[in-house]
């Protein structure tokens, strides 16, 4: 298959229509690293205006939903690399008196991530990936299983709970205990994404933690 044919096959078969006009001009094959690069480029190509509209769309999808309304302890994230922006939801949660948390990378072990409470106006610092986070404070951290709702960033998703992350595995390691739980499965895991990050189906690795669903700026996708 030629390079041009390979690109066309991928776009027709796997990439959501809203993203097809933003595709890379090099071969996009199914292996996760190539798919990750393609989708990251697609979301980075969104203009500032499109990003703002997507953030408002995401807010409208979630702000009055029972998953968000009933949750008292919510983890979100600060956007980077074209990720859909949940800060309207962060501010709304704080306005309603909910406890909000951000992921914080541990200095050691470097593969560990914790969840720390964030309050309005709190000063943040860049971590080793240049993502802003609170300064580590053990007294403000909460075990992930004690959170009600975790809103996760992602690179790609499908409509059955599949999530393609950035490749660091931080969320999968933090949430890996869920695979051993049969009944109690707190917290609820919802991915947040631009609609153009949707693909037909993602191949999942054994360590991937499935989501209960994904929310885009346009729609909800509940896992079967």
Residue 194 sits in a domain whose CATH number is 3.40.50.10420
Query: 3-class SS at 195?
Result: helix
Strand bridging mode 113-117 / 156-157: unpaired
Report yes or no on 66 lying in a domain: yes
pTM of the model: 0.83
Most confidently predicted of 24-28, 42-46, 164-168, 178-182: 42-46
CB 84 within 8 A of CB 40: no
Domain that includes residue 94, residue range:
47-222
Based on the structure, what is the number of domains in the chain?
A: 1
Report yes or no on 127 lying in a domain: yes
Percent share of the chain, pLDDT over 70: 80
pLDDT at 26 over 50: no
Report yes or no on 10 lying in a domain: no
Report yes or no on 35 lying in a domain: no
For residue 28, the model assigns a pLDDT of: 35
Report yes or no on 7 lying in a domain: no
Report yes or no on 215 lying in a domain: yes
| DSSP assigned state of 81 | T
| pLDDT tens-digit readout, 174-195 | 777 676 666 656 899 999 999 9
Report yes or no on 20 lying in a domain: no
Report yes or no on 26 lying in a domain: no
């Amino acid at each position: 298959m030629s390079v041009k044919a390979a690109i066309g096959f991928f776009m027709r078969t796997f990439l959501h229509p809203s993203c097809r006009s933003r595709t890379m001009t090099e071969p996009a094959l199914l292996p996760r690293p190539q798919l990750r690069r393609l989708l990251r480029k697609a979301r980075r190509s969104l203009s500032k205006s499109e990003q703002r509209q997507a953030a408002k769309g995401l807010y409208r999808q979630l702000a009055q939903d029972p998953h968000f309304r009933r949750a008292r302890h919510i983890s979100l994230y600060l956007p980077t690399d074209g990720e859909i922006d949940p800060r309207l939801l962060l501010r709304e949660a704080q306005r309603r008196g909910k406890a909000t948390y951000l992921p914080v990378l541990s200095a050691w072990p470097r593969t560990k991530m914790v969840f720390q409470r964030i309050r309005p106006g709190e000063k943040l610092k860049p971590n080793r990936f240049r993502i802003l986070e609170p300064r580590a404070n053990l007294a403000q951290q909460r075990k992930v299983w004690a959170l009600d709702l975790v809103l996760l960033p992602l690179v790609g998703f499908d409509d059955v709970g599949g999530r393609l992350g950035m490749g660091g595995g931080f969320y999968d390691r933090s949430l890996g205990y869920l695979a051993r739980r049969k009944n109690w499965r707190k917290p609820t895991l919802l991915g947040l994404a631009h609609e153009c990050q949707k693909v037909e189906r993602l191949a999942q690795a054994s360590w991937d933690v499935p989501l209960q669903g994904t929310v885009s700026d346009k729609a909800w996708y509940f896992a079967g």
